[in-house]
Structure 1
Amino acid sequence: MYSLLLPLLLVGEALALTTNFLPSTPHITRSGSELRLQGERWTASGGNVYWLGLDENVIPPSGEPFYVKYNASYPTKGRITEVMSTLKIMGARTVRSQTMGVSVGNPLSVMPELGEVNERAFESMDWTVREAKRFGLRIFAPFTDNYDYYHGGKFVFLRWRGIDIASTGTIDPQVQEFYTNRTIINDFKNYIKIIMTHRNPYTGLTYAEDPTIFAYETGNELGGPVFGDKNVPTEWTQEIAEFIKKLAPKKLVVDGTYGINEAHLGIKSVDIFSDHFYPMDVDKLSKGVEAVGTADKVYFAAEYGWTPQSQTKSTLGEFFAYIEKQQQKKKPIISGDHFWSLFLHNVPDCKTFVEHNDGFTLQYGNPKNPANTTEQISKIRQHMFAMQGLRVGASLPPAPCPGI
């Protein structure tokens, strides 16, 4: 029951118990506008950790794989383990990661060139799934990106078929060929199949079979030539969602359009709709929840900026209060939210925190955090436990660095 309140001691005991590696994990399912785990309502709040499969923030030791052009490298196993352990301490149930699904176009990618498969790229992804499972966390990830970042996205698929267009500023209308060109659609579906049929040596399961990866998104912040236009054809979204379901009938599918495209609400193979919040905006959030509710589907606030520059329309407290209040309803519709984004130590260096320059980096436990940052992180932790029906105090328990 959502309203259950446990003392802090019991919360700590529960955390200790749930880090045991479990041989099997039940699937997350959807019943109308609710997510369910073994018949009980399940919420999905957590954090974004975009770099779990492939990183851009750390120069590795000499001799380790490194692609200078994009500053790309594989994260160490210790960094991944620390993230999963810390998310558990923070009260998360879910982790969203672009590079657990998007990995094309550079030598360290899963698909460096069209049709080529780099098995080495799966190592960090496999370890991520293993550690998420060990700590009782669930993963969801997009299969492509709207932008031309180091990990790749739709512009890579376009270039592979001779459509080399600008990825910033005014974008050529040819960008829509990603959604309409049959050859490119088939290339993308082949890539999805390669990801989903990969068998993880740590779990013995393919990504399609593994319930730890509970959902895939059709993409990250997808749109058309104009930023925010939601110009993603319904036919494309339906085809990709149905393809994911064909490969993995128990997997949930998230519409990757940036914002709620109401033309997509009737697609039966889409389970979850989402939006991102820069800044936080309770009015925008409530309108999105209402729209998704008309289709009896689930809503995620899949990204939100948590720092002061993202609280110009609504405060962190107002944003969380709205989401938590929805959980008291018979049909809550919104099942989770995910802060952007978590960075911890440069393990095996347990003294140095990894830096990222987008203004939304959350470094849990950094002694250099100013008081107002610590206060915001505490609110996030309290909210994520509240989404589990648990109450915790404002203190932040230490998160050990694995140092491996």
Structure 2
Amino acid sequence: MASLLPSIALLLLTLPFPSISTSTSYITRHASALYLTTPNSPTNSPTNTSTRFTASGANIYWLGLDENVIPPPSTPPAPFYAPLNASYPTRGRITEAMSTVKIMGATTVRSQTLGVSVGNPLSVMPKLGEVNEGAWESMDWAVREAGRVGLRVFAPLTDNYDYYHGGKFVFLRWRGIDIGSAGSNIDPLVQQFYTNRTIIDDFKNYIRILLTHRNQFTNLTYAEDPTIFAYETGNELGGPTFGDKDVPAVWTHEILSYVKELAPTKLTIDGTYGINAEHLNLSSVDIFSDHFYPMDVDKLSAGVELVAGTDKVYLAAEYGWTPQTQSKTPMSEFFAWIEQRQNHFWSYFGHNVPDCKTFVDHNDGLALQYGNPKNPVNYTTQISKIRQHLFKMQGIAVDETLPPAPCPGN
């Protein structure tokens, strides 16, 4: 194991934290390590104004567009698309989420809907080439609030599945290829997303619209804003068969090169579900990642071994945190293995702000509700372990206490 460490980045922070402003510093990669770097420092090497950075925290997929809350009656009525149960999260919910995961020890947040927003009336792009200006507010507020509390954000640019916020199947439908994502085997025409030049150009145009958007709260484009430190080709991308990693290297390189062309300070993540050996030598990739359901140290170590020698960063971008997701590897063993690496639990939910008495539920059984008095004892124990782990990733020891997280109300 020791021989692998240089290739996957030992990212423990040394305290005290250097006085680098989160509003002006960038996350950069040098070989297999990430650094917090001032703007005038070279991006290809660390300097005495740089410090190691740990990317660890939470998946909060709903920050741009939600599927869990029906807005209460109001005049005028809040935007809501009933067929997909889609609505915009309130500013209070977003503010509480950022404050809470910061209290938990997070340094970063991964959010699908800060990058994927196509195909329904509340999306950034409801129809091909059409931009819905009303969709930006919740996204802009999320980026603003992340920066305010000192968190960094990264987001996938599309989704492997046909969810409410859209993904590759929407781009296919826009060009007359109407197939669904249900089941483990899908029509081979799904590969047209990666190979059809018209569809690739449609996707790149969407990326351009996203990265050149100017945030109404920060006056920075998403390409300029250092709070957004990376973009990912997609969430759990694959081909016709689930888990096949069938994502062409030429497509991955083209998309990530385009991201770097539009946003030279951004890091890039290969969003293939698993480590595709054919992508290891792509110069456009900064970070490789994988997801863990259940927690699985064997799978984790195998992925790290594949990335070894590439001088790239390895990221555990999702893991299930509940007792049920520890059937293969206990949380304590999984955390011990990745203590000096980067990881994000799935998924955080808070109060239905401005209602500070009711928590938002999600139907996958993996919603982490920090501070919910209805949490079973074993869930509270797991949340405490996650908090201790996230702080340990920063070189900080905390006890099992869960400090209260304020609900912002109105």
The reply on whether 1:362 has 2:368 as its aligned counterpart is: yes
The match for 2:152 is 138
Read off the aligned partner of 2:172 and give its amino acid letter: L
The match for 1:11 is none
Structure 1 Cα separation of the partners of residues 312 and 14 of structure 2:
25
Read off the aligned partner of 1:40 and give its amino acid letter: T
The reply on whether 1:120 has 2:134 as its aligned counterpart is: yes
For 2:113, which of 86, 99, 106 is the aligned residue?
99
The match for 1:41 is 52
**Deviation of 1:191 (Å):** 0.1
CA contact (8 A) 1:138 1:214 kept: yes
Matched residue SS, 1:253: strand
For 2:203, which of 185, 188, 204 is the aligned residue?
188
CA contact (8 A) 2:27 2:34 kept: yes
For 2:297, which of 257, 273, 282 is the aligned residue?
282
Distance 1:86 1:322, change over 3 A: same
Read off the aligned partner of 1:242 and give its amino acid letter: S
**Deviation of 1:24 (Å):** 2.8
CA contact (8 A) 1:47 1:95 kept: yes
CA contact (8 A) 2:162 2:180 kept: no
Structure 2 Cα separation of the partners of residues 247 and 141 of structure 1:
16
**Deviation of 1:52 (Å):** 0.2
The correspondence of residues 145-184 of structure 1 with structure 2, limited to 5 A, is 145-169=159-183, 170-184=185-199
Structure 1 Cα separation of the partners of residues 22 and 345 of structure 2:
29
The reply on whether 1:298 has 2:313 as its aligned counterpart is: yes
Matched residue SS, 2:136: helix
The match for 1:207 is 222
Matched residue count: 384
Structure 1 Cα separation of the partners of residues 175 and 366 of structure 2:
35
Structure 2 Cα separation of the partners of residues 304 and 128 of structure 1:
22
Q: CA RMSD in A?
A: 1.7
Matched residue SS, 2:358: strand
The match for 2:409 is 403
Distance 1:4 1:27, change over 3 A: closer
Structure 1 Cα separation of the partners of residues 392 and 15 of structure 2:
9
Structure 2 Cα separation of the partners of residues 283 and 207 of structure 1:
37
For 2:241, which of 223, 226, 231 is the aligned residue?
226
The match for 1:384 is 390
Residues 274-298 of structure 1, C-alpha deviation per residue, up to 9 Å, x if partnerless?
0000000011101111211221100
Read off the aligned partner of 1:401 and give its amino acid letter: C
Residues 5-45 of structure 1, C-alpha deviation per residue, up to 9 Å, x if partnerless?
89xxxxxxx9xxx9xxx683300000111011132111111
Read off the aligned partner of 1:143 and give its amino acid letter: L
Matched residue SS, 2:379: helix
Read off the aligned partner of 2:139 and give its amino acid letter: M
**Deviation of 1:147 (Å):** 0.2
Residues 328-384 of structure 1, C-alpha deviation per residue, up to 9 Å, x if partnerless?
xxxxxxx41000000000000000000001011100000111111110000000000
Q: Which moved more, 1:70-79 or 1:368-377?
A: 368-377
**Deviation of 1:166 (Å):** 2.4
Structure 2 Cα separation of the partners of residues 362 and 241 of structure 1:
32
Structure 1 Cα separation of the partners of residues 51 and 399 of structure 2:
26
Read off the aligned partner of 1:355 and give its amino acid letter: D
Could you tell me which runs of 5 or more consecutive residues in structure 2 were left unpaired when the two chains were aligned: 1-10, 38-49
Distance 1:97 1:289, change over 3 A: same
The reply on whether 1:109 has 2:120 as its aligned counterpart is: no
Matched residue SS, 1:51: coil
For 2:348, which of 332, 342, 356 is the aligned residue?
342
Structure 1 Cα separation of the partners of residues 367 and 89 of structure 2:
17
CA contact (8 A) 1:256 1:274 kept: yes
Matched residue SS, 1:139: strand
Structure 1 Cα separation of the partners of residues 234 and 285 of structure 2:
13
Matched residue SS, 1:214: strand
The reply on whether 1:251 has 2:293 as its aligned counterpart is: no
Structure 2 Cα separation of the partners of residues 213 and 162 of structure 1:
33
% identical equivalent positions: 73
**Deviation of 1:126 (Å):** 0.2
Read off the aligned partner of 2:270 and give its amino acid letter: D
Matched residue SS, 1:273: strand
Matched residue SS, 1:361: coil
CA contact (8 A) 1:44 1:93 kept: yes
Could you tell me which runs of 5 or more consecutive residues in structure 1 were left unpaired when the two chains were aligned: 7-13, 328-334
Residues 227-268 of structure 1, C-alpha deviation per residue, up to 9 Å, x if partnerless?
000000000000001000000011000000000001001010
The match for 1:10 is none
Distance 1:146 1:2, change over 3 A: closer
CA contact (8 A) 1:33 1:293 kept: no
The reply on whether 1:268 has 2:283 as its aligned counterpart is: yes
Structure 1 Cα separation of the partners of residues 245 and 181 of structure 2:
16
Residues 198-225 of structure 1, C-alpha deviation per residue, up to 9 Å, x if partnerless?
0001111000000100000000000000
Structure 1 Cα separation of the partners of residues 160 and 142 of structure 2:
24
**Deviation of 1:61 (Å):** 2.0
CA contact (8 A) 2:238 2:246 kept: yes
After the TM superposition, list the runs of 4 or more consecutive aligned residues in structure 1 that deviate by more than 6 angstroms. none
Structure 2 Cα separation of the partners of residues 150 and 185 of structure 1:
21
